[in-house]
Amino acid sequence: MGRKNNKIKNLFNGVGGAFIALIVMVVVLCVFTNTFATRLNLVNLLKQITCNCLLSFGLTCCLITGFPDLSVGSHVALATVEVCMYQNLGLSLEVSVLLTLIVGIIIGATNGFIFSRTEMPAYIVTLAMQNVLRGIAYVLTNGGAVIVENDVDRKFFNLANATILNWIPYSTLVLLVAFLIINTLLRRTVFGRHMYAVGGNSSTAIYSGIDVKNIRMIVFTISGFLASIAGVLTASRVYSGQPTTGVGFEGEAIASAVLGGVSFTGGVGTLSGSLIGILIMGVMSNGMNLLQINYYWQLVVKGIIILVAVYMDQVKRSKTK
């Protein structure tokens, strides 16, 4: 029992404040709305956080390794377009999804290749890629949405919208699997250790014989792969390919990770922490919708909460010195 407690404590190490904030938000919403704690809303919440959750998992890997990936928002848009267009070309759903994911891996690897070989700053490389991907999405669709013409048995629709026993969306299972794999990667593998080392001090990592370029490339590839999954599920949820979607998603994904204690300067953070950050962002959006707060004001509130959270984290860090 003691050992188990300890494990739980470790899991939430350093994100106690964020965890309490999450609980407070949930309690407040339960008290002040009669819609929050309903099956319909909770299922909806799970569907809503799917995209940000996958992107944020990717960004957690990137930030721990010491750089951001700003291309993920546009990447989601392109992937939604891709997965719909492939089906309209007559390919089966399975092949369409597979192709989208392969392209996602290629995009991520391209980011990683350019960054690791040229040593241009990652945010410049991925900012450029953000424009390229968004541009391609527009070119492919001429700026309009893509509707899937022949969705056999609504299989495509069901990807993100069907639920198990009316409670758990299938897409949530994807999140669960992604969490387990990435969490294991970070906590229990040599590769994960090396990610932290590269993010903590890349020069020291080089002196220790760690292949820094390779690690950066693989981590970008992971981020690209997760973004393409996020795109496929988003396309299913809105049941179309949307070249205009995903604007600012990278910001929300980074904010979730940082809220959960991932350091912006690299080398520090946990996936469980990020998960708490993701839930905070998700519950906050959901709650403000339920409280019928104007969307424009929601953006203002989100921004301020991020500032406060990061500031508190910084205060805590400087105290331990």
List residues binding other proteins (CB under 8 A).
Answer: 184, 187-190, 193-194, 196-197, 200-201, 203-211, 263, 265, 267-268, 321
Cα(200)–Cα(64) distance, rounded to whole angstroms? 8
Q: H-type helices in 90-169, by residue range?
A: 93-118, 122-141, 155-161
209 or 248: CB nearest other proteins = 209
The answer to whether the beta carbons of residues 73 and 248 sit under 8 Å apart is: yes
17: buried, middle or exposed (CB in 10 Å: 19+, 13-18, 0-12)?
A: middle
The answer to whether the beta carbons of residues 257 and 59 sit under 8 Å apart is: yes
201 or 298: CB nearest other proteins = 201
Cα(206)–Cα(212) distance, rounded to whole angstroms? 6
CB of 268 to other proteins, least distance (A): 6
138 or 196: CB nearest other proteins = 196
CB of 271 to other proteins, least distance (A): 14
CB of 286 to other proteins, least distance (A): 34
CB of 249 to other proteins, least distance (A): 28
142 or 318: CB nearest other proteins = 318
Give me the phi and psi of 143, to 5 degrees please. 90, -10
Q: At what angle do helices 93-118 and 72-88 cross, to 10 degrees?
A: 150
163: buried, middle or exposed (CB in 10 Å: 19+, 13-18, 0-12)?
A: middle
CB of 5 to other proteins, least distance (A): 17
CB of 262 to other proteins, least distance (A): 12
Nearest CA to 104 out of 216, 217, 212, 230 is that of 230
The answer to whether the beta carbons of residues 276 and 22 sit under 8 Å apart is: yes
The answer to whether the beta carbons of residues 146 and 153 sit under 8 Å apart is: no
CB of 290 to other proteins, least distance (A): 39
CB of 261 to other proteins, least distance (A): 13
205 or 283: CB nearest other proteins = 205
C-alpha pair distances (Å), 195 with each of 109, 115, 189, 241, 254: 16, 16, 10, 34, 17
